[in-house]
Chain A
């Protein structure tokens, strides 16, 4: 059981976040590069001290500036898997895994025996004597994980665990990592910039941007109701910010107005539009959609049997159409078109 409030300043970044994770739960810290995610992890590990706040694992206070408590890294019951794994290059995989146990006082034969057990659990028995440079990316990751788990930590931290792998291996390893993580009884905090990682590995997501928590919730919640451009982009949703003009009307910054089907929940709102819900016409359509506006094609991106058309204008959105439609409408950058969205397709929620 892990709970932390972390406030610290690093370089030009001000971090002020609250993170928590229950035993057996995987929480992903998701955010763009430079958001401060790795810094948060380092603070939890004790490699950095916080300025204000409190970090606690299973009731044990690790860092509390106000109370003058700071537990050094070596005494914290945490395990950390680094982005580059950082397996000690001059030690075998076995000795790497045994390192934490030996450092805590276990004698060499006992530590090695325990390490051998861990390697077996991760399917690495054949590589026990190998040096890290002889291991593949996926194998290295498993050794790093075994090394971190061997000391029976109460909290497991993972920093971009799949970043060092190539695309093909990543998919495989992601799946097996999910399995391994499930075997660990404590809380797990995972840092990533890849939403798919979060989706596959995490139970809950905390979106961090510019040192602040933008959103927190289950993966589905966050994906359905993105609160920031970053997450919206990630999940491929159009996000428009506007103010309430009338109970069912949202006015955007550009002045354009959108009709929505549900009563507006507040004065400052966010309108989410799925690209699939945006229809594109050559001529102004005459039909049921309440929201129709002129636009210019800015960019066209073909992706197998879907085409993403970036539209500029009073309502900047990305529309998704079929290649057939692209050809028929002769859509190209610079083409003037009309776009339409049904009011019922718009999700509106407060910021």
Chain B
């Protein structure tokens, strides 16, 4: 940046600076504390253990699958909420927000009541087919989707509401069917919201613990995700392992979110 441009830059309202610094410190210092306690020597061994590799693999798999499910199911719902008037719309919107408000463990319990072996839907399905979601990887994905999808829906709905709908009118006058308008005009125009929503959803799914352990249980390789592994490591007093796992989780998250931030979320 040249000096001239610097001089012309707008002055920030100075009162905000100390608060902003405090906020940044509040969020960053715990991570720095974590870094300070990291057992740098032997980190490789800690991270290479099968239990860690399994947990990481499972976390990545389930969080990505949950994000995929959220995109497929969430975008249509977001569209419906943003564009269609129907009786009970505000109720539906409030219910979509519920998983964000419920304590995750309660969410997990609710999932059991619905899809557990004696659940509202789970029981008939189990009796007919023997298929069961709890204690399976699919169950982890369901739990992750349940808590994370609302983030995507809310973000995409906001994007759809704020977009200039006249472009859709223009497409209609050119003969585009409703589906074509959605595919070629609407979705590209709200792409930034979709990406932002997907990133939020993925991050939430990656860190999800309460609903997962309550609904899907905990078993290495099948349902033990990273957050569960960290929790159990702490429980057993293996502080080093807990820190190493946490660090791994943080690194993976940053690796995805840092490149995303400016390009997409900044739009």
A and B in contact, CB less than 8 Å: yes
Interface residues of A (CB under 8 A from B): 45-47, 72-76, 78-80, 82, 84, 86, 88-90, 99-100, 103-104, 147-148, 151
Q: Chain A nearest CB: distance from B163 CB in Å?
A: 11
Q: Chain A nearest CB: distance from B180 CB in Å?
A: 5
Q: Chain A nearest CB: distance from B83 CB in Å?
A: 15
List A contacts of B171 (CB < 8 A). Answer: 88, 99, 103
Q: Chain B nearest CB: distance from A100 CB in Å?
A: 3
Q: Assuming A47-B172, A73-B172, A74-B172, is B167 touching A88 (CB within 8 A)?
A: yes
Interface residues of B (CB under 8 A from A): 166-167, 169-178, 180, 184-185, 188-189
Q: Assuming A88-B185, A90-B188, is B175 touching A103 (CB within 8 A)?
A: yes
Q: Assuming A88-B185, A90-B188, is B170 touching A103 (CB within 8 A)?
A: no
User: What are 12 contact pairs spanning A and B, CB under 8 A?
Assistant: A73-B169, A73-B172, A74-B177, A75-B175, A80-B173, A88-B185, A99-B171, A99-B176, A103-B171, A103-B175, A104-B175, A147-B174
Q: Chain A nearest CB: distance from B216 CB in Å?
A: 40
- Closest residue of chain A to B170 (Cβ to Cβ) is A86
Cα A76 to Cα B171 with chains together (Å)? 12
Q: Chain A nearest CB: distance from B165 CB in Å?
A: 10
List A contacts of B185 (CB < 8 A). Answer: 88
Cα A45 to Cα B169 with chains together (Å)? 9
List B contacts of A151 (CB < 8 A). Answer: 174-175
Cα A46 to Cα B171 with chains together (Å)? 13
Known interface pairs A82-B166, A88-B170, A100-B174; 11 further A-B residue pairs with C-beta atoms within 8 A, sorted by A's residue number: A47-B172, A73-B172, A74-B176, A78-B173, A79-B173, A82-B169, A86-B169, A86-B170, A88-B185, A99-B184, A103-B174
List A contacts of B184 (CB < 8 A). Answer: 99, 103
Instruction: Identify which of B169, B177, B189 contacts A47 (C-beta below 8 A).
Output: B169
List A contacts of B173 (CB < 8 A). Answer: 45, 47, 73-74, 76, 78-80, 148
- Closest residue of chain A to B188 (Cβ to Cβ) is A90
- Closest residue of chain A to B185 (Cβ to Cβ) is A88
List B contacts of A76 (CB < 8 A). Answer: 173
List A contacts of B167 (CB < 8 A). Answer: 86, 88
List B contacts of A103 (CB < 8 A). Answer: 171, 174-177, 180, 184
List B contacts of A78 (CB < 8 A). Answer: 173
List B contacts of A88 (CB < 8 A). Answer: 167, 170-171, 185
Q: Is the CB of A80 within 8 A of B170?
A: yes
Q: Chain B nearest CB: distance from A181 CB in Å?
A: 17
Q: Chain B nearest CB: distance from A87 CB in Å?
A: 8
List A contacts of B174 (CB < 8 A). Answer: 79, 99-100, 103, 147-148, 151
Cα A100 to Cα B171 with chains together (Å)? 8
Cα A319 to Cα B26 with chains together (Å)? 74
Q: Chain B nearest CB: distance from A295 CB in Å?
A: 49
List A contacts of B170 (CB < 8 A). Answer: 80, 82, 86, 88
List B contacts of A80 (CB < 8 A). Answer: 170, 173
Cα A82 to Cα B184 with chains together (Å)? 19
Q: Assuming A86-B166, A88-B167, is B175 touching A100 (CB within 8 A)?
A: yes
Cα A46 to Cα B173 with chains together (Å)? 8
Cα A80 to Cα B188 with chains together (Å)? 22
- Closest residue of chain B to A79 (Cβ to Cβ) is B173
List A contacts of B175 (CB < 8 A). Answer: 74-75, 100, 103-104, 151
Q: Chain A nearest CB: distance from B255 CB in Å?
A: 28
- Closest residue of chain A to B172 (Cβ to Cβ) is A73
List A contacts of B180 (CB < 8 A). Answer: 103
List A contacts of B177 (CB < 8 A). Answer: 74, 103
Q: Chain B nearest CB: distance from A43 CB in Å?
A: 13
Cα A79 to Cα B175 with chains together (Å)? 9
Cα A313 to Cα B184 with chains together (Å)? 62
Q: Chain B nearest CB: distance from A103 CB in Å?
A: 4
List B contacts of A86 (CB < 8 A). Answer: 166-167, 169-170
Q: Chain B nearest CB: distance from A118 CB in Å?
A: 13
Cα A99 to Cα B184 with chains together (Å)? 9
List B contacts of A46 (CB < 8 A). Answer: 172
Cα A263 to Cα B173 with chains together (Å)? 52
- Closest residue of chain A to B177 (Cβ to Cβ) is A74
Cα A118 to Cα B177 with chains together (Å)? 23
List A contacts of B188 (CB < 8 A). Answer: 90
- Closest residue of chain B to A86 (Cβ to Cβ) is B170
Q: Chain A nearest CB: distance from B188 CB in Å?
A: 5
Cα A79 to Cα B173 with chains together (Å)? 6
Which of A79, A86, A148 has its CB near the most chain B CB atoms (within 10 A)?
Answer: A86
Which of A75, A99, A104 has its CB near the most chain B CB atoms (within 10 A)?
Answer: A99
Q: Chain B nearest CB: distance from A97 CB in Å?
A: 10
Q: Chain B nearest CB: distance from A208 CB in Å?
A: 21
Cα A92 to Cα B200 with chains together (Å)? 31
Cα A151 to Cα B174 with chains together (Å)? 7
Cα A205 to Cα B169 with chains together (Å)? 26
- Closest residue of chain B to A73 (Cβ to Cβ) is B172
Cα A85 to Cα B43 with chains together (Å)? 59
Cα A86 to Cα B167 with chains together (Å)? 6
